[in-house]
Structure 1
């Protein structure tokens, strides 16, 4: 039975990979609808011929890597269970120490290490791709440093989460999903509070915006929106990427508005003010807190479904997976696989909500700055810098895009301009 499950699992992955390749390279149509040709949303009006070709090439390869990476994790966890490696990790941990917490730490260390090794090639291909298309400026040593930081942060977090989770499961094999969810609430909020001041600085240097004249303009904009901001932060990303970005992170007193220095280098002041107005909209409309509430609701449903699916799988295929009970840490790969699947399945919903919020933020920023030229120029430059498809395939939009497509964003601004002229 184990061989059968493994064979069909790998076969399903291969068929899925072939479908995704066919869809992205042969079926999906990314050409612009004829009514938008020649408009400000038409990439031919703001990209040269080489950029147009490169954006299509880069986007297709990047998209196929995305669609292959997550299901690859499922196959990895499936094979870990079927080959008995999860049991081997547990045996090694049990022989190494008598202390339960240290046993869990050792088990998680082995699972995290093998996961890192298994997924490293995909990560390296993605890094090499971004270097080839001049998106990334990061040296291999710098990229490897970030990968190792990811590994240790992931490992440390996983040890804490798994130790607490399996302690809860041992206490209540029926309602562990509910108790785990209740404990996850303060943990999630605590991690979001720490993110800007503890985790993010591990990767990059953050400091108050150097351009004080620009900072004054941004703070004036914040004042008009009744946002109690004292500083805008910039981060040195030019040594890693040519892409542009700005974002809001953290909660409470640790909330930060952050600009990449690449954004400062490539956009003018009016365009940056539009971006800042967009980010301020998220604060004004409380999108961060709505997002937290939505995440917690989805995680409650996700943990409940995970518990039910784990019970079913162990009851039916426990022998093949070498699992007899849910409260054994050997079931961790199964738990991670199910959670990953549920997150992938739910991503269209979360992306839809995110795109709605981003559209509202765009509208807020346009009304606040009343500068449609800067808004359109910003989106055009974002497309050029990231070699982004203006009109991506439907499946890519559904599963990957937390923002509206550039076609939607620019055409919305053009419609706004038309409305204003007709008033």
Structure 2
């Protein structure tokens, strides 16, 4: 009970500190040298939009920085109050088959985590509604949450069943064998996501604007991307935000545009956005992401296995867990991986920002239309109420893309450099 009180007080103190940082301590003003430029939000946003952008960004950032440690609190509560041991005991009373024990346990643990996280998730949903980023009805939102719950629970069960089977076979090297098995599993997920998983949430259909599709496919042909169609997805039923992407590998590669992007951007702006996405493919970022996830999982499993074993040795008897192979130890394992993932996110985001900048470079070199490029970024910021110059901590932990300030100033510099080179060429002639 005393430890629970200390955990609660620690969470409250952390919440107070992160709230002070986000709402009062962080400076997000535009650097003086960029005031009045195309990167200055006061140039392309109204006063009301600036206010909404600031408030919406702060609340969403605050929710993120609270929700991650709250997940850790959930695992500690399940362990500390004996719920994990109780779940295991109830599962064992149902049947003598261990695979069914594990399935029941995973469902119970996932359900308690889902219920305890629901208030934060619901508040995040209502905030998006209030700021008109989301227009998704509650019934549809809840449907997506339930679909995600069962998909995640199914994947978690497969992973848990595999890892704990490996633990029973080899307590020292289970993490290595688990990693080796994760490689084909990761490849499988990359391959099936565009075809099997994404359509569970939205309807995908061929781009209705055939003229624009021909332009995009011509762009893809210049990029040596073998695509014969562009997909449109009906995200306008859920959100006012914009997005486009290229995902999948091999024959399952898909070029996808949200219909909101088509509604709010000009054809030239759409082409720049698609050139950016194609840049990821041309520069093999999809495959580098795949390799990165494989390397990251190796390090995570290696470090995590050692921390996990140490936790069970130190606190297992307090939680009613005799050894690591006990399924009741799962919350401790998930806690370790969640903490490691959070700690690694600044490095992963930095790598991602570099890849996104590389895709921006490719897109502007391919389209040579800085006006459309800047316009697309400005419209992305307006539609998503994105903060142009976020706090440093937010950038480190949340931004897998360069900030809008960085992206637009890069385009301005590219335009200036191009203009200068053209003048030099003319003078030489």
Displacement of 1:158 in angstroms is 1.4
Unaligned runs of 5+ residues in structure 1 are none
8 Å Cα contact 2:213/2:229 also seen in 1: yes
Deviations 1:143-164 (A, max 9, x none): 0110110111111111211111
- CA distance in 2 between counterparts of 1:33 and 1:113 reads 46
TM-score where L is the length of structure 1: 0.98
- Residue 293 of structure 2 corresponds to 295
Query: How much does 1:322 deviate?
Result: 2.1
Q: Following the alignment from structure 2 to structure 1, what is the Cα–Cα distance between the partners of residues 206 and 187?
A: 25
Measure the CA separation in 2 of the matches of 1:61 and 1:312. 37
Matched with 1:101 is 99
What secondary structure does 2:390 align onto?
Answer: coil
1:110 and 2:108 equivalent? Answer: yes
Give the corresponding residue for 1:170.
168
Match of residue 372 from structure 1: 370
Q: Is the 8 A contact 1:310 1:334 kept in 2?
A: yes
Matched residues in 2 for 1:322 and 1:20: separation? 34
1:30 alignment counterpart: 28
Distance in structure 2 (CA, Å) of the matches to 1:5 and 1:365: 53
1:90 and 2:57 equivalent?
no
Match of 1:281 in 2: 279
1:422 equivalenced with 2:420 (yes/no): yes
- Report if the CA contact (8 A) 1:56-1:389 is conserved: yes
- Counterparts of 2:10 and 2:253, CA distance in 1: 44
Q: How do 1:372-391 and structure 2 match up within 5 A?
A: 372-391=370-389
After TM superposition, the structure 1 = structure 2 runs for residues 396-411 of structure 1, keeping only pairs within 5 Å, are 396-411=394-409
Paired position in structure 2 for 1:343: 341
Note if 1:230 corresponds to 2:233. no
CA contact (8 A) 2:85 2:319 kept: no
Which residue of structure 1 aligns with residue 11 of structure 2?
Answer: 13
User: In structure 2, the residue corresponding to 1:258 is in which secondary structure?
Assistant: strand
Counterparts of 2:340 and 2:161 in 1: how far apart (Å)? Answer: 22
Retained in 2: the 8 A contact 1:323–1:330? yes
Is residue 352–residue 398 contact of structure 1 (8 Å, CA) maintained in 2? yes
For residue 316 of structure 1, report the CA deviation from its aligned partner: 1.4
Residue number in structure 1 paired with 2:360: 362
Structure 1 residue 321: deviation in Å? 2.4
Q: 1:217 aligns with which of 201, 215, 218?
A: 215
Is residue 2:241 matched to residue 1:243? Answer: yes
Per the TM alignment, residue 379 of structure 1 is displaced from its structure 2 partner at its CA by 0.3
Any idea what the Cα deviations from partners look like across 1:50-85, whole Å, max 9, x if unmatched? 000000000000000010011100000011000010
User: 1:211 & 1:253 partners in 2: Cα distance?
Assistant: 24
Q: Equivalent of 1:55, from 23, 46, 53?
A: 53
Partner of 1:144 in structure 2? 142
TM-score (norm 2): 0.97
Q: Gaps (5+ residues) in structure 2?
A: 422-429
Aligned partners of 1:252 and 1:347: how far apart in 2? 28
Contact 1:82 1:322 in 2 (8 A): no
Partner-residue secondary structure (3-state), 2:29: coil
CA offset at residue 5 of structure 1?
A: 3.0
Conserved? CA contact 1:306–1:339, under 8 Å: yes
Q: How many residues align?
A: 421
The offset of 1:366, in angstroms, is 0.3
SS in 2 for 1:229: coil
CA distance in 2, matches of 1:291, 1:192: 10
The aligned residue for residue 333 of structure 1 is: 331
Per-residue CA deviation, residues 387-421 of structure 1 (Å, 9 max, x unaligned), is 01000000000000000000000000000011011
**Number of the residue aligned with 1:271:** 269
Runs of 4+ in 1 over 4 A off after TM superposition: none
Deviations 1:335-383 (A, max 9, x none): 0011000000000000000000000000100010000000000000000
Aligned mates of 1:89, 1:250 — CA distance in 2: 38
Q: Which residue of 2 aligns with 1:255?
A: 253
Mapping of residues 187-202 of structure 1, within 5 Å: 187-202=185-200
**Alignment partners' CA distance in 1, 2:397 and 2:255:** 26
Query: Does the CA-based 8 Å contact 2:346-2:397 persist in structure 1?
Result: yes
**Which residue of 303, 307, 310 corresponds with 1:309?**
307
How much does 1:9 deviate? 2.1
SS in 2 for 1:71: helix
Shift of 1:279: 0.5
Would you say 1:208 and 2:210 are equivalent positions?
no
**Deviation of residue 8 (structure 1)?**
2.4
CA RMSD of aligned residues (A): 0.8
Match of 2:120 in 1: 122
